[in-house]
């Protein structure tokens, strides 16, 4: 803060400047209205002599504008030292009016001198107009100086302090996703880029419903990664929003792939628009732990509360039972009946028959020991509870359409196989998500296992509305798949939603291992967490005291949030904050961004009008050209039940006729 001596010295200097300015105005009027001053007898000989010498040596009075120009220059300099304001109601409108009046009356009054009136009247009019103009300019200048000195008072939302320079370079590589932006910095909007140069370090896209996360970010991920030749797995919660984009963009850019990928769809709502795929195909299960993973995923998707109770007896028991049945179907007749529908049907058979069959296989006997102990020990209530914990949730999945889709073999789930690249879209339905999520989670868990391998095609896993499905092994995929060129993009609303559905530990791992993060409007703890992630920056603070005589201002600096939670909680649709990661060979100094992602809405709408719908995959027409979808689906449903019935009969007959398994028959009868 300036000391009192400096303030007094500055004030005297400004007063001197204004006095010189007024002197130039007086001399201007005296020279150009000299005849009137002569008539008024206000002329001074010594002054006349000095002015004539000035005119002869400098030409100061050769034009009306010279003296006016010098008067305004000294007036402007004097306004720079204006003291504190006594009126807080000064506005730019008032300043503009005063300046306009001043300029008109001070500079555009030359025509008055040519009016055909007596010289005294002309001089009076001219001097009056110059005086009015000068006073207008003086008022405008003083007000402007006072207002500009308090510009921090106008920035009530601290926008200037919290704006910062962002990345303006376009940094591309063979994997990058690049989004054009517009950001505010130094009182203007600037064009920039968000460069995700390493998508393999995983990406999170947050935002409340309607914040624009799908339209601005996820849709661009799909389009740009198809253009760069990625194989792709897309979880489409509101089928077929994302699937239609992927299908039509692939049609335009198949030339970006060495081997054109095939487009596959899993859709339980409409079997006509769905391929068939067996997620527990025996060829991709090499160990009983694979069966356990599949059972784990299914049961936790059907019972979201179990995610918080992993390891409990009544959580693990049904998982182990289902895993045993899946592995049994894998080893029975070389996996001929190893499908999820067959597993459901076998589980619903008499438990005495099921246990007798499973125990006849040495590799399953130890796995089932908790059930066998309860069975042989007469703990029927405990056993019934264990079995019911598996049967009741799985019974919700008994559906002819679901059985149809999950028993076929149209394609395999190794989507990033270099010889057979695929783009796979799996569709959920918000009205049936509790049922469909379990089946789709099974596809997820198998895909995670299959794509996270070396020497495969670069691939992308895009999951919109992540909490609607339990993605077993997602945290491990993010942590380990980078070296195998697997890019993961996860969309959800906020961290609390993820914690609710994935548990605190797994949610924290996902939050802390992603390298790229986008956030639209989010509130509460999520906004606070993000603000802390973006860090603090040195910001200017101004405090002001105004009294009748003077104003004192102090300016200080302090570390404060670069993007505070309140800003994140009130982001406009299309505005995003976040940070990106970089590479050794592509350094990004400013990784944090707070900008509007530019989307050419007219272009997008024009493209969407030309989109082709996803075609029907199966016609279900019989030999007479009639629709037989219901007949074929129901026939498949009955065939599965018949297969399981025959398996049980054949296996019980085998056990009964095998002397080495005689003890199982006795226990069963007992």
pLDDT band, very low/low/confident/very high, at 374 (cuts 50, 70, 90): low
Sole residue written with tokens 């919109």: 464
Give the integer Cα–Cα distance in Å for 445 and 102: 77
Q: Which residues contact 390 (CB under 8 A, 6 or more apart)?
A: 299, 317, 318, 319, 321, 322, 347
Provide the pLDDT for residue 2.
44
pLDDT band, very low/low/confident/very high, at 635 (cuts 50, 70, 90): very high
Q: What is the pLDDT of residues 392-450, one digit of tens each?
A: 888 888 888 889 999 988 888 889 999 999 999 998 888 787 778 888 888 888 888 88
**Cβ count near 11 (within 10 Å):** 13
Give the integer Cα–Cα distance in Å for 616 and 271: 9
Max mean pLDDT range (160-169, 593-602, 620-629):
593-602
CA angle, 112 then 116 then 121, to 5°: 65
> How many helices (H) and strands (E) would you count in the chain?
27, 13
Provide the pLDDT for residue 200.
93
Residue 407: closest CA among 375, 439, 385: 439
Q: Which residues contact 170 (CB under 8 A, 6 or more apart)?
A: 178, 193, 195
Q: Name the residue with higher pLDDT: 357 or 378.
A: 357
Judged against a pLDDT cut of 50, whether residue 11 lies above it is answered with yes
Residue 344: closest CA among 394, 295, 386: 394
Judged against a pLDDT cut of 90, whether residue 244 lies above it is answered with yes
The CA-based dihedral angle spanning residues 94, 99, 101, 105, taken in that order and rounded to the nearest 10 degrees: 160
Sole residue written with tokens 């979201």: 304
Q: Name the residue with higher pLDDT: 158 or 339.
A: 339
Judged against a pLDDT cut of 80, whether residue 604 lies above it is answered with yes
pLDDT band, very low/low/confident/very high, at 155 (cuts 50, 70, 90): low
Provide the pLDDT for residue 667.
55
Provide the pLDDT for residue 1.
42
Provide the pLDDT for residue 167.
92
Q: Which residues contact 432 (CB under 8 A, 6 or more apart)?
A: 268, 269
Q: Mean pLDDT check: name the lowest of 112-121, 172-181, 452-461, 591-600.
A: 112-121
Provide the pLDDT for residue 576.
95
Give the integer Cα–Cα distance in Å for 169 and 188: 18
As a whole number, mean pLDDT of residues 315-338 equals 88
Provide the pLDDT for residue 627.
67
Provide the pLDDT for residue 32.
81
Helix axes 380-395, 313-331, angle to 10 degrees: 70
pLDDT band, very low/low/confident/very high, at 189 (cuts 50, 70, 90): very high
In order, the DSSP letters of 389-421 are HHHHHHHTT--HHHHHHHH--S--S-TT-TTS-
**Cβ count near 316 (within 10 Å):** 20
Provide the pLDDT for residue 337.
92
> Average pLDDT of the chain?
83
Provide the pLDDT for residue 448.
83
pLDDT band, very low/low/confident/very high, at 27 (cuts 50, 70, 90): confident
Q: What is the DSSP letter of 216?
A: I
pLDDT band, very low/low/confident/very high, at 86 (cuts 50, 70, 90): very low
- Residue 443: half-sphere exposure toward Cβ, Cα within 13 Å: 30
Ramachandran angles phi, psi of 325, nearest 5°: -65, -40
Q: Residue 123 CA to chain centroid, in angstroms? A: 70
Judged against a pLDDT cut of 90, whether residue 14 lies above it is answered with no
As a whole number, mean pLDDT of residues 612-630 equals 77
Q: Mean pLDDT check: name the lowest of 361-365, 380-384, 617-621, 650-654.
A: 380-384
**pTM of the predicted protein model:** 0.74
Q: Name the residue with higher pLDDT: 309 or 291.
A: 291
Pair 332, 360: CB distance under 8 Å:
no
pLDDT band, very low/low/confident/very high, at 339 (cuts 50, 70, 90): very high
What ranges make up the beta strands (E) of 548-650? 551-561, 575-579, 592-597
Provide the pLDDT for residue 57.
77
Pair 416, 231: CB distance under 8 Å:
yes
Judged against a pLDDT cut of 60, whether residue 35 lies above it is answered with yes
Q: What is the pLDDT of residues 267-306, one digit of tens each?
A: 888 888 899 999 888 887 888 888 888 888 888 888 777 7
As a whole number, mean pLDDT of residues 311-319 equals 74
As a whole number, mean pLDDT of residues 113-126 equals 81
Percent of the chain predicted with pLDDT > 70: 88
């Amino acid at each position: 803060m300036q000391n009192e001596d400096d303030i007094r010295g500055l004030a005297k200097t400004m007063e001197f400047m204004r006095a010189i300015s007024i002197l130039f105005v007086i001399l201007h009027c005296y020279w150009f209205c000299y005849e009137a001053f002569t008539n008024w007898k206000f002329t001074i000989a010594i002054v006349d002599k000095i002015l004539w010498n000035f005119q002869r040596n400098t030409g100061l009075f050769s034009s009306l504008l010279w003296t006016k120009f010098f008067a305004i220059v000294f007036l402007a300099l004097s306004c720079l030292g204006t003291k504190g304001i006594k009126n807080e109601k000064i506005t730019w409108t008032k300043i503009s009016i005063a300046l306009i009046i001043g300029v008109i009356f001070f500079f555009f009054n030359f025509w008055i001198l040519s009016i055909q009136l007596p010289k005294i009247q002309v001089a009076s009019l001219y001097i009056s107009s110059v005086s009015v103009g000068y006073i207008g300019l003086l008022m405008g200048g003083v007000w402007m100086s006072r207002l500009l000195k308090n510009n921090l008072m106008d920035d009530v939302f601290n926008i200037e302090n919290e704006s910062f320079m962002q990345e303006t370079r376009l940094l591309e590589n063979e994997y990058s996703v690049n989004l054009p932006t517009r950001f505010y910095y130094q009182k203007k909007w600037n064009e920039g880029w968000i460069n995700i140069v390493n998508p393999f370090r995983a990406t999170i896209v947050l935002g409340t419903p309607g914040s624009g996360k799908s339209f601005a970010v996820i849709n661009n991920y799909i389009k740009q990664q198809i253009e760069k030749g990625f194989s792709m797995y897309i979880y489409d919660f509101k089928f077929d929003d994302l699937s239609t984009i992927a299908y039509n963009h692939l049609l335009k850019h198949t030339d970006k792939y060495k081997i054109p990928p095939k487009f596959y769809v899993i859709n339980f709502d409409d079997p006509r628009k769905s391929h068939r795929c067996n997620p527990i195909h025996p060829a991709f299960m090499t160990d009983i732990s694979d069966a356990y993973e599949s059972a784990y995923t299914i049961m936790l998707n059907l019972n979201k509360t179990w995610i918080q109770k992993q390891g409990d007896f009544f959580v693990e028991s049904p998982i182990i039972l289902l895993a045993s049945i899946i592995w049994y179907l894998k080893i029975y007749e070389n996996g001929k009946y190893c499908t999820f529908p067959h597993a459901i049907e076998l589980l619903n058979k008499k438990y005495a028959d099921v246990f007798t069959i499973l125990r006849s296989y040495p590799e399953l006997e130890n796995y089932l020991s908790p059930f066998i102990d309860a069975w042989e020990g007469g703990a029927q209530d405990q056993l019934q509870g264990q079995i019911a914990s598996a049967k009741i949730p799985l019974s919700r999945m008994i559906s002819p359409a679901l059985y149809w889709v999950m028993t076929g073999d149209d394609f395999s789930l190794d989507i990033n196989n270099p010889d057979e690249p695929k783009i796979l879209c799996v569709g959920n339905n918000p009205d049936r998500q509790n049922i469909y999520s379990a089946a789709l989670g099974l596809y997820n868990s198998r895909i995670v296992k299959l794509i996270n391998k070396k020497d495969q095609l670069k691939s992308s896993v895009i999951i919109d509305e992540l909490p609607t499905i339990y993605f077993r092994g997602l945290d491990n995929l993010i942590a380990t798949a980078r070296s195998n060129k697997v890019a993961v993009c996860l969309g959800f609303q906020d961290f609390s939603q993820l914690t609710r559905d994935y548990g605190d530990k797994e949610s924290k791992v996902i939050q802390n291992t992603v390298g790229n993060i986008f956030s639209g409007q989010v509130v509460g703890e999520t906004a606070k967490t993000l603000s802390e992630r973006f860090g603090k920056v040195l910001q200017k603070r101004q405090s002001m005291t105004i009294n009748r005589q003077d104003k004192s201002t102090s300016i200080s600096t302090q570390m404060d949030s670069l993007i505070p939670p309140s800003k994140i909680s009130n982001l406009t649709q299309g505005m995003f904050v976040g940070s990106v990661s970089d590479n050794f060979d592509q350094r990004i100094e400013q990784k944090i961004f707070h900008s509007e992602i530019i989307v050419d809405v007219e272009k997008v709408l024009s493209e969407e009008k030309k989109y082709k719908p996803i075609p029907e995959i199966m016609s279900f027409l019989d030999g007479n050209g009639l629709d037989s979808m219901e007949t074929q689906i129901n026939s498949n449903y009955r065939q599965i039940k018949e297969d399981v019935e025959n398996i049980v009969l054949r296996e019980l007959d085998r056990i009964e006729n095998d002397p080495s398994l005689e003890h199982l028959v006795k226990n069963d009868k007992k």
